[in-house]
């Protein structure tokens, strides 16, 4: 019962912006969009989350469409260290867990 759909894999050239899409067409009004990533063999790492407004932090920007049915995570200047699996997750704040899907495997190419 996947709430999100992401491409299996993507490539991006080092130094360019990496734009990772996520579809969440059945998102409900109180569900937030979260992004995590997992660099090989490490624990997942929280990146950013948002409800409907675009968000930016030191790691990335999150662009959510006006109808909230999709979003894009933007890594503005990708480096080789950004090679990882990126997970888009929707959840309500009171959920006692996050559920990981298969994510998008992002390869940053030198």
Partner 1 sequence: EPEVTQTPSHQVTQMGQEVILRCVPISNHLYFYWYRQILGQKVEFLVSFYNNEISEKSEIFDDQFSVERPDGSNFTLKIRSTKLEDSAMYFCASSPTAGHGYTFGSGTRLTVV
Considering only residues 62-81, where is the footprint of partner 1 by CB under 8 A?
none
CA quadruple 90, 36, 7, 84: dihedral, nearest 10: -170
3 close to 25: Cβ distance less than 8 angstroms: no
Residue indicated by tokens 């937030």: 32
Considering only residues 87-106, where is the footprint of partner 1 by CB under 8 A?
93-102
CB of 103 to partner 1, least distance (A): 8
CB of 81 to partner 1, least distance (A): 16
Nearer to partner 1, 14 or 55 (CB): 55
**Does residue 1 bind partner 1 (CB under 8 A)?**
no
Question: 3-class DSSP state for residue 99?
Answer: coil
69 close to 63: Cβ distance less than 8 angstroms: no
Considering only residues 21-40, where is the footprint of partner 1 by CB under 8 A?
32, 34, 36, 38
- Return residues touching partner 1 (CB under 8 A): 32, 34, 36, 38, 41-49, 93-102
């Amino acid at each position: 019962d996947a709430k999100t759909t992401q491409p299996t894999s993507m490539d991006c050239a080092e130094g360019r912006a990496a734009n990772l899409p996520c579809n969440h067409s059945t998102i409900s009004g109180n569900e937030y969009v979260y992004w995590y990533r997992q660099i090989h063999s490490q624990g997942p790492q929280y990146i950013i989350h948002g409800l409907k407004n675009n968000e930016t932090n030191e790691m990335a920007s999150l662009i959510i469409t006006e109808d909230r049915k999709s979003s894009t995570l933007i890594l503005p200047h990708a480096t080789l260290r950004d090679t990882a699996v990126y997970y888009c997750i929707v959840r309500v704040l009171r959920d006692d867990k996050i559920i990981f899907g298969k994510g998008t495997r992002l390869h940053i190419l030198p």
